[in-house]
Chains A and B, each alone.
Chain A
Amino acid sequence: MKAYQFNMTANKHTMPAQEPSVRCGNFCEVALGYDEDTAIEEAKRCIQCKNHPCMQGCPVGVRIPEFITLVAQGKFEEAYGVIRSTSALPAVCGRVCPQESQCEGKCTRGIKGEPVGIGRLERFVADWHRMHGGTEAQVPQPNGHKVAIIGSGPAGLACAGDLARLGYAVTVFEALHLAGGVLVYGIPEFRLPKEIVRHEVEGLKALGVKIVTNAVIGKALTVEELITEYGFKAIFLGTGAGLPRFMNIPGESARGVFSANEYLTRINLMKAYEPESETPVFPAKRVAVVGGGNVAMDAARCARRMGAEVYVVYRRSEAELPARREEVEHAMEEGVIFKFLTSPVEILEDAAENVAGLKCEEMILGEADASGRRRPVAKEGSAFVLPVDCVIMALGTSPNPLLKKTTLGLETKANGTIVTDERGATSLPGVFAGGDAVTGSATVILAMGAGKSAAKAIHEYITNSAK
């Protein structure tokens, strides 16, 4: 028996958003979310297929058809319970997951028309829960074991949540002054309000998770000390991939060249866009952002909001852009100018050593490379100068080297990523790892998935060693 009458509209219900011309002048959230009626109608577009293809696309295995049925029936708090049982950060995932390549990419409705707006529904449910003062699960009975989590990004928070629910005394160590990792320093306010991250972190604290900020593990304390002196039974390394890459082209030391990490950290973590913030941000008029991922979109859209004319310079074509589709569309609506098939060769400097332009070459797509994407090749004689006074490099990041340098016996690959088995166990007993620190820069949801599976492995490890 059907739980509800299906809504066979071909397209997703649109989510209200701030007008592009308005949102370019503020840092408030762009997408405004569904109201209850729209959410129910969108939920009814789910035809409850038997094999649940959407769930196969979810790295944390959210029981999507089950929560959507509850939304369709108006049982929002129950729907939240379903999502929450497998996802540590529903309000975050609903906003930043690349749904088009995950759950929604597999949705049957997507074959003819648009898939069900699973991400939008997840976001609606999480927001509804937060606004209606929903309570979290009760603090579980302590099991007497201590686990340390290094890094409070999505991997660490997901791991902490699952372990806390199993009764572990969890301490999360964060090097920065605020918990959240990339959710607070990288992803901008207009895409993920920091109040939401704060709320999720508070939720973990309510479960008994202890968060220690300003704690640089590998420097102030070593992994070994945490085990031998502080009595942690297991450690999870969720230190991310924070080390920015540059292009190694002439002029990268000019004034006005930044890594996306630096630019975004100044704006997001340090709130440099607020007049009362002490942190400066470079007053650029014309900005070139190099790269085509989510970080590039975030940097470009921040620069728009800081009042600059913004170019995204990407060496492949629009079809290969690795960023979430919605972010690309939003960036375009906001007037970000895309220079596809364009690759920088030199940053020009004026007499005062400020950036005076970005010299680029046009590219054509050649044969497919190891990643399966067609390799861009420079078009001869196509060099031109983009007149900009600021260049932001968003070329991906490498794992943070701090822990590797100070943790003896921790096996890493040549690219700096930590070596683990499929369960997240590293070369050191009791030490597990997951997220970007293991995979290199990827997505929030993949990091959460790794944090979750490591939590399971840690639970088994401690249970077995206690025997």
Chain B
Amino acid sequence: MYKIIKKEILNPTVTRMVVEAPLVAKRALAGQFVILRADSRGERIPLTIAGCDREKGTVTIIFQVVGGATMCLNAKSEGEEIADLAGPLGVPTEVDGLKKVAVVGGGVGCAIALPVAKRLFELGAEVTSIVGFRSRDLVILEEEFKEISSRFVLMTDDGSCGEKGNVCIPLSRLLESGERFDAVIAIGPLVMMKFVAQATKPYHIKTIASMNPIMIDGTGMCGGCRVSVGGEMKFACVDGPDFDAHLIDFDEAIKRSKTYAEFEAQARERHCNLFKNSPKS
């Protein structure tokens, strides 16, 4: 069992948890993920590691409540335990040799973008952080990003905070004005990553996207996480989750991500009713 040391609500649908998992913390690097199961009836879900403390043996996860599994996880309080947590899985984000990088985060993807940006900052790279959210209420980790970025751009879809529009607007503006990066790292919704890849392609800038597809085991066994990269089938859990964004077939990934959309919606309703019937005392 894996004890929840700290729980923090970052915005109405996004929660940060610090969980005791010494074996995972020992080796975890930015870009890797864990598979967890909130309780013994729960679904196995992949969550990217948002940080870790090797000495205390803890791992930080940040997640958005989407379906039944994340609802169950979110229902747990500090001091309670998560049934299963395995990791660190996947290949860490390639950061070696990068001197000037744009990190582009969208929504809860910013939780994963932050440790990557942090790692780059620690290695002495110049980091431009461009983060986007739907509206002001959903903005997370703003201060943390500012601390490690030489340039920080905040975007909201409705303009309620920062600039109005999506993350591609400032990115394209920078590129058009002659700004160049060793790499652009995009982490967020599939549609966002697709457009970031389109924006950087004419400039031949290496662009990495972090995929978060459907996954069960996280060790290469189920093939649920298959992604087409340059026409080849890759498994995000063992070959990724990072891939060359210019080679990813995003349309296929978007289609595959919707496989259980109906089930997720039903699970949300079921859980809401469940919560209504048995209010937490």
Contacts and interface: CB of A to CB of B under 8 A. Distances in A.
Interface of B is mostly: mixed
Given A176-B217, A265-B222, A280-B263, A353 B238 contact: no
Contact of B219 (A213, A246, A280, A400): A400
Contacts of A280: 43, 260, 263-264, 267
Interface string A184-226: 0100000000000000000000000000011110011100000
Contacts of A9: none
Contacts, number: 114
B44 A277 contact: no
Given A255-B255, A353-B255, A278 B69 contact: yes
Contacts of B69: 278
Tier of interface size on chain A: 35 or more
A177 interface: yes
B259 A255 contact: yes
B216 A216 contact: no
Contacts of A428: none
B109 interface: no
A279 interface: yes
Interface in A214-257: 214-216, 219-221, 242-244, 246, 248, 252-256
A243 B220 contact: yes
Given A253-B252, A266-B216, A278-B69, A219 B89 contact: yes
Contacts of A176: 86, 217
B42 A216 contact: no
Interface stretch (B21-29, B146-154, B192-200): B21-29
A254 B88 CA distance: 30
A246 B86 contact: no
Given A215-B86, A220-B88, A400-B221, A253 B256 contact: yes
B68, B87, B224, B252: most-surrounded residue (chain A CB, <10 A): B224
Nearest to B215: A262
Nearest to A212: B23
Contact of A214 (B68, B86, B228, B267): B86
A219 B72 contact: no
Contacts of A278: 41-43, 68-69, 72, 267
A270 B37 CA distance: 11
Nearest to B225: A262
Contacts of B258: 255
Contacts of A177: 37, 44, 83-84, 86
Contacts of B68: 278
Contacts of B233: 246, 248, 252
B226 interface: yes
A243 B221 CA distance: 5
B132 to A, nearest CB: 27
B222 A215 contact: no
B85 interface: yes
Given A177-B37, A244-B221, A400-B221, A262 B216 contact: yes
29 contacts: A175-B86, A175-B219, A177-B44, A177-B86, A185-B221, A214-B85, A214-B86, A215-B86, A216-B89, A216-B218, A219-B87, A219-B89, A243-B223, A244-B221, A244-B222, A246-B233, A255-B256, A256-B259, A259-B223, A259-B224, A261-B223, A262-B216, A265-B216, A265-B217, A278-B43, A278-B68, A278-B72, A280-B263, A400-B221
Given A262-B223, A277-B43, A280-B267, 19 more contacts: A175-B219, A177-B37, A214-B84, A219-B87, A221-B23, A243-B220, A244-B221, A244-B223, A253-B228, A253-B249, A255-B259, A259-B222, A261-B223, A262-B224, A277-B41, A278-B69, A282-B259, A282-B260, A405-B238
Interface of A: 175-177, 185, 213-216, 219-221, 242-244, 246, 248, 252-256, 258-259, 261-262, 265-266, 269-270, 276-280, 282, 353, 400-402, 405
Which 6 pairs across A and B sit closest by C-beta, in order of nearness? A259-B223, A280-B263, A262-B222, A242-B221, A214-B86, A177-B84
